[in-house]
Structure 1
Amino acid sequence: MRFFYIDPFLKYDFGHYFEAARAIKKYFVSEKKDFYLIGNIGINENTKKNIGGVIPFIQQTCFEDLENKGESFGEDLINLHKIYSFCERDLLIIPAAYENQIYGVGKFFNYLKQNKGNYPKVAMQFHQLYPPTKESDDLEKPEFKQKWENRLAEAFSVSNFPSISYWSTESGNLNNKLSSLSKRDVGVLPVPFNIPINLSERNKKDSLIIGFLGDGRQEKGLSIFLRSIPYLIKSQKNLKFVVQNLNPRGFSETQENEMKSLLKNVSELSEVRLINGSLSPEEYDSVFREIDIVVLPYDPKNYSQRVSGIFMQASIYRKLVVVSSGTWLEESLKKNRASGKVFDYVENKDQTVNNLTSSILSLITEIDKYHTLAVKTSNYYSRKCTAKEFITNIVEYYEHK
C-alpha cells in the first residue's frame, strides 16, 4: 500500500496542520512505508526545511475560494494521478477537508470512471462544520449556519463513492452533524502530534506562569484573557504571563481596535511576555514546558463542535487548563481528559471576564491538587494523539470494509 498525505493547509511552519504533518512524516519514516507528503504549492521554505520531503502541489487551502466547487482540488488530484497512477491499493489521506475537497474528490472519481481507472481509497477528515468568516460572530446567524449545512449536504450527495470515507475529530456534536448531512457513518480520528518526552515533575517556583498560546482569532477569546490580566496581577502576587498573538483575525472593526488597545496595555506590564507571531517547534515546546496554567477562553458558538489541539497538548504536557462553559473543551475536561476549571462564558462580556478571573484564582488556591490530577489525566491524549493511532484507524477501517 502506498500512502499519500495530501494537506491543502500544509503551507506555514506553525499550527496544528504543520505539527500533524511532522508527526505523520516521522511515523512513516520509522515504519519504512511507501509514503508521499503533498503540501500546498505556496509552502514556505522554513516548512519544507523543517519537515523535509514535502511535494508542493495543492493550489488552494481548504477554505480558499469557496465558490470554486472543487474545480481546483479535482484538477490537483487528476494531475497527481497522471504522475503516480493511483490504484485501489493506494490510500489518499486528506486531513483538512471541506466543501471544495468533497466536490474535488467527486470530480476526480468521475474522471477515473470515464477513463476506466481504478479508484484509490480516500479518507477525508473534517475539523469544523462552518467556514471561517471575516467576522466570527456570523455564527450567531441561523441563516448562515443553515446555508452551509445545505451546501455540505449537497456536496456529499454528489460525491458518494464507496471507497471514500469521512472522518471527524472526537467532537461528538461535529460527528453527529456530519453523519446526518452525509447520510453516512462518519469515523473519528485523533489530532496527531509528536508526543513530548522527558516531561519533568512540576518544580515549585517563586512565580506561576499563566499562558495563552496559538491563534489570536476572535473566537479564541484572547481579548477576554487580556482584560483579566490586570485583575489577576492585583489579586495574586508572583504571577507571570505568556501571551502569543498569532495571525489575529475574525474581528469587527470595533473588536479589532479594542484588541490593539489591550495588547498595547499588557505589553507595558513587566509581568507579561508578549510573543507576536509564530514559534519554531523547539521554541513552542520550551514555552509549553514553562507554563503552569493554559487559558482557553473560547467562544461556545464556535467551539461547541470544534476540538482544540492546544487543549490536547496542555493535557499531554500535564498543564492545568481553564476553559469556557458550553464548549467541547468543557466536555473533555469533565471526562477527566485534562485537569483544570471551567468558567461561565455568558453574553455579558464584563461578567465573562470576572468569571474567568475568579476561576483562575480558584485554581491557584488548589494548584497542587490539580497538578497531581494532571499527571494522571495526561495519559488519554498521550495515547490517542499519535500518528500511529491516526493511520491505524484508517487502515483498519478499510481492512474490515
Structure 2
Amino acid sequence: MDQGCIETVWRQESRRVLATLIRLLGDFDRAEEALNDAFLAATERWPRDGVPANPRAWLVSAGRFRAIDRMRRRSRFARIAGTLAVIEEGEMATAAEPIADDQLRLIFVCCHPELPPDAQVALTLRETCGLLTEEIAAAYLARPATIAQRIVRAKARIRELALPYEVPEPKQMLQRLDAVLRTVYLIFNEGYAASHGETAVRVDLCAEAIRLARLLRALLREPQSELEGLLALMLLNHARRNARTDPAGDIVLIADQDRSLWDRAAIAEGAHLAEAALRMRPLAGYAIEAAIAAAHATAPTAETTDWARIVGLYDLLAQADTSPVIALNRAVALAMRDGPEAGLGEIDALLAAGPLTGFRYAHAARADLLRRLGRRDAAREAYVAALELTQQGPERRFLERRLRALGSPPP
C-alpha cells in the first residue's frame, strides 16, 4: 500500500471522521487532535496490516482510543472521568450509519443562532471543508488573525453554552434552515470551484453537499422551496463535472464542454426540481438560481442557450438578493445577450463600487470581455489582476494561457 491511498482516504473521509469524533469527545480541539492521531496510526498500521474494510470506522475508533489515552495522561483526568465513561460505551465496530449523520449534526452546531453569522461561516469552512485559516481569510477578504479569532470564539461559545450536538426537531430545524442551507451551499461551492490546490473540482465535497441536502429533505415533513431549489441547483451544476476539466485537469469553459459527458439523469432530476421550486411560494432565491442552471444544462448547444431568459431570471433574482456576485453574474449574461460592451459597463461599475475589487472572478470576467472587444492591453492588465488573486492551480494555468494568447507572458 502506498502513501497515496492514505491521502485519498484523508480527502474523502477526514471531515466526516472529525464530525463523529466531535460528537464522541464533545470538544472541537480534542477531536482535531484525535483525527491527526488516527491518521498517524493509519500510516503506521495500514502498510503492514492492509487497509481495513471500513476505513472511516477504523479511523474513528483509533482516534477515540488515542483521545482517551491522552485524557488519562492529563492531570485533569478526574474532572472528565464521566465523559470518558460515556465515550467508552460507544461501540464503533458497526458505526457506519451513526457516522453518516454526524456531518449534518456538525453543521447544525456550526449554524446555531447563538453564534454570530460570520463565525458560523468561518467555523463551517474550517471544520466541515477542512480549509486552512489563511484560505478562509482569502475567500472572505479578511485577515487570517481575524478569521482565527472568530473560529476560536465560536468554539469557546459552543463549549460555554454546551450547545447540543444534534439535528433538531423539524419545527426547530425550519428556524435554522436558512443558515444550514447557506452552509451546505458553501460546501458545494468549495467542491465546485476549489479555492486552492491543483484540483479544479472536488467531487467529494459536491457529492457530500448533495447527500446532506437529500438527508435534510427526508427529515422535513413538507417540501421547502429553498431546499428544493438548492438541491436542484447543485444537481444541475454537478451534472457537468466530467466535462469541466480535460484529461490534464485543466479547466474547460461551458461553451467548449463535451455535452455528451454531462450526467443526463442528474439534469432531468434537477430540472424537474427546479421547475417545481419555481412554482412554490414564497419564491426562493435558490429556486431562481436553479432555473438559471437548468437553462444552461438543458440547452442542446452553447449557441442555443436562452440568454434572454437567463438575464430575465437574474433580474428577478436581483430583486431578492442584492449580492454583488449576483450582479456580476447578471453582467456576464447581459454581455452574452447584448454584446460585451453592455456587460463591461456593468462590471466596471461593480468594481468601482468596491466590494468586488478582491474577487478574482470579477477581474477574469472583465478581462474576457475586453479580450472579445479587442482591447488587448486592458485585457492583459485585467488578466494579471485576476491571476494575482488566484491560488488554484488549474485556474492559474487557464489565466496564463489567456495571457500567452494575447502575446504577453505570465508575470
- Report the TM-score when normalising by structure 2: 0.29
**For the pair shown, which has the larger CA radius of gyration, 1 or 2?**
2
- Report the TM-score when normalising by structure 1: 0.30
The structure carrying a bigger helix percent of its residues is 2
